[in-house]
Structure 1
Amino acid sequence: MTSSAPEDWYRWIPEQITAQDYEALPADFCRTIEVIDGHIVKCESPSRLHNRVARRLAATLEQGRKPEPCLMVETDVDVRISDVPLNFRTPDVAVYRCQPDDQRLYADDTVLVVEIISPESSFRTDTVDKKAAYAAAGIPVYLIVFPSESQDGIEQIEEYRLSGGCYHLVFLHTRRLAMDGPVPVDVPFDVLTSA
């Protein structure tokens, strides 16, 4: 993807786009959207706290990952759920099986995704829509981070594990995130949020 599309590129975006249509869009625009059943969904710019938590959580997961089996950690990377109709989400953090950087990341290769709630814009999307989409795609672990409304901190992190095609809440983390896999991690919430 490049941003060398004509200035009026937005005029030819059909109501429902295909994977080929998506590849023709400017890269700068593609970083601001998700596609659900071929329909473009514009994503809001996250808060500074949101970005800080995503960056620090990704760094913590990166430190804990094991070389065998090889796992990679990224923030804001497209996870392709299906090609037809085109479906992809962009989790705040994703852990996936190693692959070349130029290879498209599919849900089948993803072992953990994290979404950080933006109370004003993403609560329902992250707790209902994305949870259902990630479960249906077979991603084994889903973490939902709930920032505190009263201060720059984290209220809780819900840890869901896939079983029988559905996510089940297996742990409610309240002061620290501690789990054994797919990447071992043990980090106090304040390390993820402090300025």
Structure 2
Amino acid sequence: MTSGAPSDWYRWIPAQITARDYELLPEDFCRTIEVVDGHIVKCESTSRLHDRVARRVATQLEAGRKPEPCLMVETDVDVRISDVPLSLRRPDVTVYRCLDDDAKLYAGDAVLVVEIVSPDSSFHTDTVEKKAAYAAAGIPVYLIVFPTEAGDGIELIEEYRLSEGRYHLVCLHTRRLTLDSPVAIDAMFSELTSG
């Protein structure tokens, strides 16, 4: 539990939380939520395939980093969209400009984010709400991963690039994911999903 938070912390969470309120929440609780305009949004549990794809995409992106500029790759970290009202999301994978480990990661530091769609729970959030939020925050590249209907692989990855404040679909990846920038990656979908 974060120091300063009362032991019955869940009783004092206001309807709309501030950045200061968020700092007082227990870390393990913060890993299960996002905040949109000060309102807590509970994140659904993810599948094993979802987690495996996130890890493997992150590993491939990590391997494709170039020495300059300095970039880091993380899974499931807070990306702060705004402080007032507090808005933060937890992309499945984030590529961002190098920061000190204790520095807050703002959307302006992110150069690429990845969301893996959970058909039952996150389709609208990932394809509409987060796409709009990430574009408005100025994140240059957004990848949306669509698992197969059977949930045993990847059907499609949509690649969006920011231009004039909006995302434009630039590629539909159907069997392999290939990018040259901001990080190089060339991976067959099977490499991102196989057990």
**Which category describes the TM-score, using the shorter chain as reference length?**
over 0.9
Q: Which deviates the most, 2-11 or 129-138?
A: 2-11
- Say whether 1:82 aligns with 2:82: yes
CA deviations 1:58-78 (Å, max 9, x no partner) are 000000001210000000010
- Say whether 1:33 aligns with 2:24: no
Is the partner of 2:84 in helix, strand or coil?
A: coil
Aligned to 2:164: 164
Aligned to 2:6: 6
- Say whether 1:183 aligns with 2:183: yes
Q: Is the 8 A contact 2:64 2:184 kept in 1?
A: yes
CA deviations 1:164-184 (Å, max 9, x no partner) are 100000000000001111001
Is the partner of 2:20 in helix, strand or coil?
A: helix
For 2:166 and 2:152, the matched residues in 1 are separated by 32
Aligned to 1:114: 114
CA deviations 1:4-58 (Å, max 9, x no partner) are 7333111110000000000001111111000000000000111000000000000
Q: Is the 8 A contact 1:3 1:28 kept in 2?
A: no
- Say whether 1:99 aligns with 2:127: no
Q: Which residue type is aligned with residue 85 of structure 1?
A: P
For 1:133 and 1:6, the matched residues in 2 are separated by 32
Normalised by the length of structure 2, the TM-score is 0.98
Aligned to 1:140: 140
RMSD: 1.1
Q: Which residue type is aligned with residue 98 of structure 1?
A: C
Q: Which residue type is aligned with residue 134 of structure 2?
A: Y
Is the partner of 2:62 in helix, strand or coil?
A: helix
Is the partner of 2:6 in helix, strand or coil?
A: coil
Q: Which runs of 5+ in 1 are unaligned?
A: none
Q: Is the 8 A contact 1:4 1:26 kept in 2?
A: no
Normalised by the length of structure 1, the TM-score is 0.98
Q: Which residue type is aligned with residue 86 of structure 2?
A: L
Is the partner of 1:183 in helix, strand or coil?
A: coil
Q: Is the 8 A contact 2:49 2:151 kept in 1?
A: no
Aligned to 1:72: 72
Q: Hey, which bits of structure 1, 4+ residues long, moved more than 4 A?
A: none
Aligned to 1:53: 53
Identity across matched positions, percent: 77
